């Protein structure tokens, strides 16, 4: 297993959660890391991406911009997705994925490996 996720759970609207995506067998610092969500009955949706240090600024989908923040701690070989002001519409299975290249904006970017997914449920 190359990417191990943690941090999901059930919360109420307005709450916060932080998801983690840790690399186990390689140096995550060298790669762009993406976050996707998959809501019930829907396709994967790319919601965020963070490049390796020195790359382009993080990407956020409009649906999460201003509420979610992606960050990385290369010393811990981990990428985080801090989610605030959670809404019921954020309920989904969340995945991290490692890009083949270091920058989110690379036009030839591919997704090499995926985390196992973690469920986030937002309800009152």
Tell me the pLDDT tens digit for each residue of 95-110: 999 999 999 999 888 8
- Tell me what pLDDT residue 1 has: 73
Q: How far apart are CA 64 and CA 29, in angstroms?
A: 24
Q: Return d(Cα 111, Cα 34) in angstroms, integer.
A: 8
User: Which residues, listed in sequence order, are joined to residue 39 by a DSSP beta bridge?
Assistant: none
Give me the pLDDT at residue 7, please: 96
- As a whole number of angstroms, the distance between CA 6 and CA 25 comes to 17
Write out pLDDT tens, residues 31-71: 999 999 999 899 999 999 999 999 999 999 999 999 999 99
Please report which confidence band the pLDDT of residue 93 belongs to, taking 50, 70 and 90 as the band edges. very high
pLDDT value of position 107: 86
Using DSSP's 3-state secondary structure scheme, residue 29 falls into helix
Q: 112: which 2 tokens?
A: 């090499």
Please determine, for residue 117, whether its predicted confidence score (pLDDT) is greater than 80: yes
| pLDDT value at residue 61 | 97
pLDDT digit string (tens) for 74-92? 999 999 999 999 999 999 9
């Amino acid at each position: 297993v190359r990417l191990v996720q943690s941090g999901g759970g059930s919360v109420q609207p307005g709450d916060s959660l932080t998801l983690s995506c840790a690399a186990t067998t390689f140096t995550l610092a060298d790669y762009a890391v993406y976050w996707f969500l998959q809501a019930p009955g829907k396709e994967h949706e790319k919601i965020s991406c963070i490049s390796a240090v020195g790359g382009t600024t993080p990407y956020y989908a409009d649906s999460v911009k201003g509420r979610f923040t992606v960050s990385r701690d290369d010393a811990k070989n981990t990428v985080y997705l801090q989610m605030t002001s959670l809404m019921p519409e954020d309920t989904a299975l969340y995945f991290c994925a490692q890009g083949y290249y270091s920058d989110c904006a690379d036009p030839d970017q591919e997704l090499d490996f995926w985390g196992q997914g973690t469920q986030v449920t937002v309800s009152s």
